[in-house]
Amino acid sequence: MREGLSLVGVLVALSLGFGLLSETFLTSASLATIANQLPTALTLAVAMTLVLVAGEIDLSVGSVLAVSQGVLGVAMTQLGWSWPAAIAAGLTTGLLAGLVNGAIVVRWALPSFIVTLGMMEAARGGAYLVTGSRTQYIGADIEWLADISWLGLSAPFLAAVALVILAEVLLTRTVLGRQAIAIGTNEEAVRLAGIDTRRVKLTIFALAGLLAAVAGVMQVARLASADPNAGTGFELSAIAAAVIGGTRLMGGRGSAVNSSLGVVIMGVLATGLTQIGVQDPTKRLVTGGVIVLAVIADVYRQRWAGARQHAA
Amino acid sequence: MTDPGAVFVATGLEKRYDVPVLTGVDLDLRPGECHALVGENGAGKTTLVKILSGLTPASAGGMMLDGAAYRPRDRAEATSRGVRTVLQELVAVETLTVAESLFLERWPHRWGWIDRDALARESRPLLDRVGLQHLDPGQPMASLGIGQRQLVEIAAAVHRPCRLLLLDEPTAALTDAEAQRLFEVLADLQARGTALLYISHRLEEIRRLADRVTVLRDGRVVASEPIAAVSTDALIQLMVGRTVSEAITRTTPATDRPALQVRGLDAGPAVQDISFDVHWGEVLGFAGLVGAGRSETMRAVYGADDAHRGEVRIDGGEGGQRFASPGQAVEQGIAMLGEDRYRQGLLGTLPVRVNVALACLGRLARRLGWMDRTAEQTAVDALIRRLRVKCTSAEQPVDHLSGGNQQKSLIARWLLREPRILIFDEPTRGIDAGARAEVHQLVAGLADGGSAVLLVSSDLRELTTLSDRIAVLSKGRLVATFEGPDFDPEAIMTAAFSGHVAPHLTPPDHADHA
């Protein structure tokens, strides 16, 4: 909770700062730019948080996003499927990729870093194969999804917010979430407590794959096309957002809400820097610095909290 | 108070985090003396050792070593002044070999290359000295049992000039024979003028070894006397500030209905053809040397490790099967408290509540896996009260608790599950006299209530007090079973050694590493 508040504080400070430096930053147009890019990034950050909390990592989310939307695009443009069937096919693709990740990690007790690195390559290859390496233009048949809005908020954005809340509830209120956090803290202890850790990890990887596909659908709706190159590097942005949100890379600690605040902070930073005229190389340099600073700040925050609570 | 001949003097030492942990502690150690430091967990013993060994600075007070001011900034500085430490929680680097661990601070090297031959050569006498002559110096630390690791660490600590040796629970993980060997090493050091500061919960051991004893309670020195001047009962009273009874009374005798029947269990070299029965209402003790296969047997029964042959039958049920995972065992009403609570039990950074609830998440949930937070809170609070777990609240991270209270949290985890068969592997290792007595009462109470208990312990007195029968393992085989209530400790020890009568050669599976 305290952590969430400090993230909101950073966010407000950043927004005010950019608002002072640039006349256009605090306008609805620039806020809309940020909000438009959010659904995909939010959904991937949620997926990454779930996996990181369980002490694992999923480097394949960007590629799984691409192959899922490739399937969706081809189903609509070349096979002439209806949009619900095509979306279902896209989501199933993501779910299967996640299940494969999870099954391999669990069956051979392999580090997920390597397994999902493999899936990152493989799924990207799958995206090219499915689409024949060409962007599939779908147009109005799918674009209307992104145009639905309620109180000025787009449907994908609302869906992403709902997913953030669902994931937070999953982590804090359900048995599965509790088990994932416990596994991320001490997997052997959880196994010896009689819990089937393999089933939990498989479920988490499957969820991550499914969420990556959901993020893919959101992106297709916004761009009205499916691009096999989509999502390149998104896994790293998702990790960065989760870490800024205080998720522990070694597992055992993380919050979907805080990770999503991390996404918003990264988005504000990127848009704000562009608007005050910072060039892309400098922008990346600043963003990199912010990620590392966030982790350092977290170390101090923990130390401080630890010293307060210590009662040896 | 201070002795002019003292090698080490501390005056008015204080340490505070947000609460004071140590207050006004005076301590002086004479050359060649063994000075015992006792107190309940959380009394500040470990903090004091950390200050002396340079792991944490004192908040106030001063220390003198050999007449010069002593204020170590880190462990390396303490070591260079001749203050060496054997810590309670082992910090072995598992991928290093035994020889590399022995010389961790200064590997023999030539032009920046580690001199492997010199390393192996120089390791031999050190290992001989602590009775580990059969160990291959090239063996990885990970392959050693916890007792053997401790002896390696002790060997590493004492092979260099040593003015003051700090030992925090050095025998907690050792068998009686290994402890014996350690005492000889310590006596040798004392004869050469090293002062020992010796922390132990085993009071009979302290009585044998120590010249003087200092008692800490709530961070203050409540007594500092020659050991001969205080009785053991008086020591316990000083430590806890209340009377604790070591005697255990059982109210209900064991039944003859089998609760757990193990037949022909094989799991690697440590578990060979093990068969035994435990009855409802019975405590079956397991004695043996470190490495005899007691923990491995328990893990195989519980499904934590794969067994390749044998069967496990519950309550006279069907035979021909065994548990493929701990989950299956737990489902059948079995619980296991592992020997290493850090690795096998605790969720260190998470609250006590989460640690206690872990084995019961399904029962504390409503439909669709939705946690019932009220039910959880109520159940956990009740157990915290019942076991008297000392914590600020159920939300305190469990790694902020003392060892005894951490152990109680893990016992609470299982009691919440209400198992019918409980495996306790070294339940009182490294916990204080008060908590130890409480754990003993609890084990007896569970058996009286009709549960079956399997108790592994390296503390023979604990085994003989609590067990109805004691099974003895030696080198992976069950060699004898003794009937209580009057056990003959000597006969048990003889049985424990029986597997070792042949001249001890290097185990064949490690022979090629030399």
Phi and psi of B475, rounded to 5°? Answer: 50, 50
| Residue B452 to residue B354: CA distance in whole angstroms | 27
| Residue B325 to residue B305: CA distance in whole angstroms | 8
Identify the three-state secondary structure at position B293: coil
* Most A-contacting residue of B46, B47, B341, B349 (CB-CB within 10 A), to test interface: B349
Q: Which carries the bigger pLDDT value, residue B246 or residue A218?
A: A218
Question: Smallest CA–CA separation between B285 and chain A, in Å?
Answer: 21
Residues of B whose CB is below 8 A from A192: 302, 304, 326, 336, 338, 344-345
Tell if the CB–CB gap between A188 and B369 is shorter than 8 Å: no
| Residue A23 to residue A29: CA distance in whole angstroms | 12
Identify the three-state secondary structure at position B310: strand
For residue B485, say if its preceding peptide bond is cis, omega within 30 degrees of 0.
yes
- Residues 251..290 of A with a Cβ closer than 8 Å to B: which? 252-253
Q: Which carries the bigger pLDDT value, residue B129 or residue B52?
A: B52
For B332, name the nearest residue in chain A, comparing CA atoms only.
Answer: A194
CB atoms within 10 A of CB A194: 27
Confidence of residue A261 (pLDDT cuts 50, 70, 90): very high
Q: Say yes or no: A190 contacts chain B, CB-CB below 8 A.
A: yes
For A170, name the nearest residue in chain B, comparing CA atoms only.
Answer: B370
For A179, name the nearest residue in chain B, comparing CA atoms only.
Answer: B358
| Residue B241 to residue B462: CA distance in whole angstroms | 23
Share of chain A above pLDDT 90, in %: 69
Share of chain B above pLDDT 70, in %: 92
A112-139 pLDDT, tens per residue?
Answer: 999 999 999 999 999 999 999 999 999 8
The candidate with the shortest Cα–Cα distance to B38, out of B432, B401, B435, is B432
B149-181 pLDDT, tens per residue?
Answer: 777 877 887 777 788 999 888 877 777 777 888
Q: Please state the rounded mean pLDDT for residues B461-470.
A: 91
Q: Please state the rounded mean pLDDT for residues B83-91.
A: 71
Task: Determine contact, residues A263/A236, Cβ cutoff 8 Å.
Answer: no
Q: Where are the alpha helices (DSSP H) in chain A?
A: 2-21, 28-53, 61-77, 83-107, 112-131, 140-147, 155-173, 175-185, 187-192, 197-223, 234-244, 256-275, 280-309
Nearest to B358 among A182, A188, A307 (CB): A182
Quote the tokens at residue A103. Answer: 């099954």
pLDDT of residue B217: 84
| Residue A123 to residue A120: CA distance in whole angstroms | 6
Confidence of residue B510 (pLDDT cuts 50, 70, 90): very low
Burial of B112 (0-12, 13-18, 19+ CB in 10 A): exposed
pLDDT of residue B508: 41
Confidence of residue B128 (pLDDT cuts 50, 70, 90): confident
pLDDT of residue B92: 58
Question: Smallest CA–CA separation between B131 and chain A, in Å?
Answer: 32
Q: Say yes or no: A189 contacts chain B, CB-CB below 8 A.
A: yes
Q: pTM for the complete prediction?
A: 0.77
The candidate with the shortest Cα–Cα distance to A204, out of A121, A99, A274, is A99
Task: Determine contact, residues A71/A189, Cβ cutoff 8 Å.
Answer: no
B7-45 pLDDT, tens per residue?
Answer: 999 999 998 865 678 889 999 999 999 999 988 766 788
Question: Smallest CA–CA separation between A227 and chain B, in Å?
Answer: 37
Q: Please state the rounded mean pLDDT for residues B83-108.
A: 74
Q: Answer left, alpha or beta for residue B457, where phi above 0 means left and psi between -120 and 50 means alpha.
A: beta
* Most B-contacting residue of A170, A181, A192 (CB-CB within 10 A), to test interface: A192
pLDDT of residue B80: 85
Q: Which of A220-234, B82-96, B169-183 is the most confident on average? A: A220-234
- The angle that helices A155-173 and A256-275 make with each other, rounded to 10 degrees, is 140
The candidate with the shortest Cα–Cα distance to B78, out of B49, B109, B102, is B49
Q: Please state the rounded mean pLDDT for residues A258-278.
A: 91
pLDDT of residue B418: 94
The candidate with the shortest Cα–Cα distance to A58, out of A197, A230, A251, is A251
Nearest to B347 among A186, A308, A309 (CB): A186
- Between the alpha carbon of residue A243 and those of residues A265, A287, B202, the distances in Å are 12, 13, 46
pLDDT of residue A120: 97
Quote the tokens at residue A156. Answer: 């994908």
| Residue B201 to residue B216: CA distance in whole angstroms | 12
Confidence of residue A146 (pLDDT cuts 50, 70, 90): confident
Task: Determine contact, residues A205/A98, Cβ cutoff 8 Å.
Answer: yes
The candidate with the shortest Cα–Cα distance to B195, out of B84, B75, B273, B51, is B84
Tell if the CB–CB gap between A191 and B331 is shorter than 8 Å: no
For A172, name the nearest residue in chain B, comparing CA atoms only.
Answer: B371
Four-residue CA torsion sign, B199, B201, B207, B209: negative
For residue A306, what are the contacts with CB-CB under 8 A and spacing of at least 6? none
Q: Please state the rounded mean pLDDT for residues B228-236.
A: 84
pLDDT of residue B288: 86
Q: Please state the rounded mean pLDDT for residues B489-511.
A: 61
Q: Please state the rounded mean pLDDT for residues B293-320.
A: 90
How many alpha carbons lie under 13 Å from residue A264 in its C-beta half-sphere?
23
Q: Say yes or no: A170 contacts chain B, CB-CB below 8 A.
A: no
Q: Please state the rounded mean pLDDT for residues B261-274.
A: 91
DSSP for B418-441, written as a single string: --SEEEEESTTTT--HHHHHHHHH
pLDDT above 50 (res B503): no
Tell if the CB–CB gap between A194 and B331 is shorter than 8 Å: yes
Share of chain B above pLDDT 90, in %: 41
Q: What ipTM was estimated for this complex?
A: 0.90
Q: Say yes or no: A302 contacts chain B, CB-CB below 8 A.
A: no
For A196, name the nearest residue in chain B, comparing CA atoms only.
Answer: B327
* Most A-contacting residue of B14, B16, B17, B51 (CB-CB within 10 A), to test interface: B17
| Residue B14 to residue B119: CA distance in whole angstroms | 41
Q: Say yes or no: B325 contacts chain A, CB-CB below 8 A.
A: yes
Tell if the CB–CB gap between B338 and A192 is shorter than 8 Å: yes
The correct answer on CATH 3.20.20 for the domain covering A2-305 is no
Q: Say yes or no: B343 contacts chain A, CB-CB below 8 A.
A: yes
Query: What are the CB-based long-range contacts (under 8 Å, 24+) for A245-248?
Result: A245/A3, A245/A7, A245/A45, A245/A49, A246/A3, A246/A7, A246/A298, A247/A48, A247/A49, A247/A52, A247/A53, A248/A52, A248/A53, A248/A184
Name the residue ranges covered by the structural domains of chain A. 2-305
Identify the three-state secondary structure at position B23: strand
DSSP for B212-274, written as a single string: EEEEEETTEEEEEEEGGGS-HHHHHHHHHSS---------S---SSEEEEEEEEEETTTEEEE
